[in-house]
């Protein structure tokens, strides 16, 4: 059973399109995250939700909108995709906001053409 | 602001030799320190953590890391590397001043040659 699963695994799209990435965790965790990993493998936090409430919102363009329908799901919607959005996006979760261990999904590779 | 530096983009080591991946950090207050490993096309996996106590912490797959407060370092080590240890390794720090946010280093690629 996959603990943190995200779909799709690969996403290829044209500039200007709107796309969504879905994430689900079956660990019963309270806190979920979105990270962006660029082409140089640098990993940066984008958003964090705790029990469906936004707690971290880094300097991310407002074209990116996270949505958490319940604490097991954190989806990422991206409007008006740009070339610079091409990256691997990782969903992650941890038991509580203060828990030490993060569990990561396997990533969504987004390519904007 | 808290930060993590991994000075080496890549570390090459022969199988059976000791492996060291360097990490230094900057944080206000006591640090929580972590190492994660990323295999190709996979998400990051937790290896080990330092919260408090013994400066030498042991983790998964035979890895260990030593916390050195005076040098603000948390180097990852393995006495005898395996080819299967070839991966991308990330050091991370969390401090209360940053709202418990986890900050990752830039990653170090480890290549273990047979």
What confidence tens digit (pLDDT) does each residue in B56-94 have? 999 999 999 999 999 999 999 999 999 999 999 999 998
Nearest chain A CA: its distance from B80 CA (Å) = 26
Residue B99 pLDDT: 65
pLDDT band at A16 (very low <50, low <70, confident <90, very high): very high
Contact A92 B43 (CB under 8 A): yes
Nearest chain A CA: its distance from B1 CA (Å) = 13
Task: Select from B40, B44, B74, B92 the residue whose CB has the most chain A CBs within 10 Å, as the one to mutate to test that interface.
Answer: B44
Q: Which residues of chain A neighbour B43 with C-beta distances below 8 Å?
A: 4, 90, 92, 104-107
As a whole number of angstroms, the distance between CA A104 and CA A11 comes to: 18
Please give the structure tokens belonging to residue A47. 């958003």
Q: Which residues of chain A neighbour B36 with C-beta distances below 8 Å?
A: 102, 104
Query: HSE on the CB side for A66, CA within 13 Å?
Result: 27
Phi, psi of A100, rounded to the nearest 5 degrees: -85, -30
What confidence tens digit (pLDDT) does each residue in A28-84 have? 999 999 999 998 888 999 999 988 888 877 878 899 999 999 999 999 999 999 999
Nearest chain B CA: its distance from A98 CA (Å) = 7
B81 in Cβ contact with B97 (< 8 Å):
no
Of B41, B49, B90, the CB nearest to A43: B90
> Could you tell me which residues are beta bridge partners of residue B43?
none
Residue A40 pLDDT: 85
What confidence tens digit (pLDDT) does each residue in B47-56 have? 999 988 889 9
Q: Counting one residue from A and one from B, how many pairs have CB atoms under 8 Å apart?
A: 51
Q: Which of A105, A89, A91 is nearest to A11 (CA)?
A: A89
Q: Which residues of chain B neighbour A104 with C-beta distances below 8 Å?
A: 36, 43-45
**Above 90 in pLDDT, residue B23?**
yes
Strand spans (E) along B15-55: 19-21, 24-26, 32-38, 44-50
């Amino acid at each position: 059973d996959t603990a943190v699963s995200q779909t799709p695994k690969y996403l290829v799209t044209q500039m200007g399109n709107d796309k969504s990435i879905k994430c689900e965790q079956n660990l019963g965790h309270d806190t979920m995250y979105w990270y962006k990993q660029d082409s140089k493998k640098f990993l940066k936090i984008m958003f964090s939700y705790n029990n469906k409430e936004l707690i971290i919102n880094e300097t991310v363009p407002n074209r990116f909108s996270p949505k958490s329908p319940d604490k097991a799901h954190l989806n990422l919607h991206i409007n008006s995709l740009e070339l610079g959005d091409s990256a691997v996006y990782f969903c992650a979760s941890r038991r509580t906001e203060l828990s030490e261990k993060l569990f990561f999904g396997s990533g969504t590779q987004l390519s904007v053409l | 602001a808290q930060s993590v530096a991994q000075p080496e983009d890549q570390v090459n080591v022969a199988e059976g030799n000791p492996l060291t991946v360097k990490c230094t950090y900057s944080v206000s207050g006591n640090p929580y320190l972590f190492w994660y490993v990323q295999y190709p096309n996979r998400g990051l996996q937790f290896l080990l953590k330092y919260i408090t106590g013994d400066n030498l912490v042991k983790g998964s797959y035979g890895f260990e890391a030593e916390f050195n407060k005076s040098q603000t370092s948390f180097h990852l080590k393995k006495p005898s590397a395996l080819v299967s240890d070839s991966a991308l390794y990330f050091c991370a720090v969390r401090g209360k001043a940053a709202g418990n946010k986890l900050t990752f280093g830039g990653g170090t690629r480890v290549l273990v040659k047979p």
